[in-house]
């Protein structure tokens, strides 16, 4: 059989190339980018959560966040009545946040590179857990020492409708559906854009169950 004919058959295979959707000048959704990493990612996540279980936190205004949080890496993002900040220790255990697993770091760096951000060195990974009904209101990520580094966000489990706004809370938001395995990278001129997550719809994910888990990699300090 001629090679050209073979090529025609080869084209019948589904293309596994992850798609890159541009949602801002320097903001990209890498569709399915995390899928090949899952086999290593999920056991590493279990290890982190054994040392620093999910817990709900209170905002400075006294409201309990609907998403439950954990962290790993040198710095963990926390909130309580005294404000938002990064801490070296988990306030619940008094111990340092768990180390960032190597596979977390490798995935975050590979995604940043794919979106055009070289040399991303995250020192913090916030892990958010959403059950159906949980949401995150529009906000900016402003607690980091510098805004020079991008942010990498990995979505797992139930789908979410992500809100990608402008530089003022009242600016119109675009809605970006995020699925299991999608990775979003924001940086540069888009780093301080408002964003949020609409309430997660009821459902059950075959691997993750009735939840959405999001990793947010940042350079905090
Ligand atoms: C857009 N978490 O924890 S990161 C957060 O799905 C948070 O749990 C989202 O927002 C979640 O703060 C995903 C999304 C994100 C992070 C930084 C951004 C979006 C951004 C910076 C600029 C623009
Ligand atoms: Fe955020």
Tens-digit pLDDT profile for residues 45-86: 999 999 999 999 999 999 999 999 999 999 999 999 999 999
Mutate to test the pocket of ligand 1, among 162, 193, 214 (most ligand atoms within 8 A of CB): 214
Task: Note whether residue 116 is domain-resident.
Answer: yes
Nearest residue (by CA) to ligand 1, atom 23, is: 193
Tell which atom from ligand 1 comes closest to the C-alpha of 155: 6
HEC readout, the chain:
CCHHHHHHHHCCCCCCCCCEEEEECCEEEECCCCHHHHHHHHHHHHHHHHHCCCEEEECCCCCEEEEEEEEECCCEEEEECCEEEEECECCCCCCECCCCCHHHHHHHHHHHHHCCCCCCCCCEEEEEEECCCCCEEEECCCCCCCCCCCEEEEEEECCEEEEECCCCCCCCCEEEEECCCCEEEECHHHCCCCEEECCCCCCCECCCECCEEEEEEECCC
218 CA to middle of ligand 1, Å?
A: 10
- The pTM (predicted TM-score) of the whole model is 0.93
Which residue range is the domain that position 95 belongs to?
A: 18-218
Query: Is 206 within a domain?
Result: yes
Identify whether 94 is part of a domain. yes
**Alpha-carbon radius of gyration of the chain:** 18
Q: Is residue 120 part of a domain?
A: yes
Our answer on whether the CB atom of 70 is closer than 6 Å to any ligand 1 atom is no
- Assess contact for 54 and 126: CB atoms under 8 A: no
CA 210 from centroid of its chain's CA atoms: 18
Which two three-digit tokens encode residue 57? 């936190």
Domain count, the chain: 1
How does pLDDT run across 86-126, given as a tens digit for each residue? 999 999 999 999 999 999 999 999 999 999 999 999 999 99
Asked whether residue 191 is domain-assigned, the answer is yes
| Of the candidates 132, 109, 93, the residue with the CA atom closest to the CA atom of residue 217 | 109
Give the CATH number for residue 102: 2.60.120.590
**Could you tell me if residue 23 is inside a domain?**
yes
In a domain, 4, yes or no: no
- 5, part of any domain: no
* pLDDT for the residue numbered 1: 44
pLDDT tens figures, 148-195: 999 999 999 999 999 999 999 999 999 999 999 999 999 999 999 999
> 186: Cβ below 6 Å to ligand 1?
yes
**Ligand 2 geometric centre to CA of 140 (Å):** 6
Residue owning the nearest CA to atom 10 of ligand 1: 196
């Amino acid at each position: 059989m001629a090679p050209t004919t073979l090529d025609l058959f080869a084209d019948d295979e589904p293309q596994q190339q992850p798609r890159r959707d541009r949602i801002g000048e320097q903001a990209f959704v890498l569709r399915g980018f995390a899928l090949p990493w899952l086999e290593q990612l999920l056991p590493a996540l279990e290890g982190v959560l054994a040392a620093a279980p999910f817990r709900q936190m209170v905002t400075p205004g006294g409201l309990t966040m609907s998403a439950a949080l954990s962290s790993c890496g040198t710095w963990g993002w926390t909130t309580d009545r005294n404000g938002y900040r990064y801490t070296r220790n988990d306030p619940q255990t008094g111990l340092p946040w768990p180390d960032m697993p190597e596979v977390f770091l490798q995935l975050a760096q590979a995604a940043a590179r794919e979106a055009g951000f070289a040399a991303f060195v995250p020192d913090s990974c916030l892990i958010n857990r959403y059950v159906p009904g949980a949401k995150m209101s529009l906000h900016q990520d402003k607690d980091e020492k510098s805004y020079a580094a991008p942010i990498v966000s990995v979505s797992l489990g139930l789908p979410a409708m992500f809100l990608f706004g402008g530089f003022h809370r009242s600016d119109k938001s675009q809605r970006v559906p995020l699925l299991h395995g999608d990775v979003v990278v924001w940086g540069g001129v888009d780093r301080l854009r408002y964003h949020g997550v609409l309430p997660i719809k009821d459902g059950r994910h075959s691997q993750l169950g009735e939840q959405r888990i999001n990793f947010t990699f940042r350079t905090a300090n």
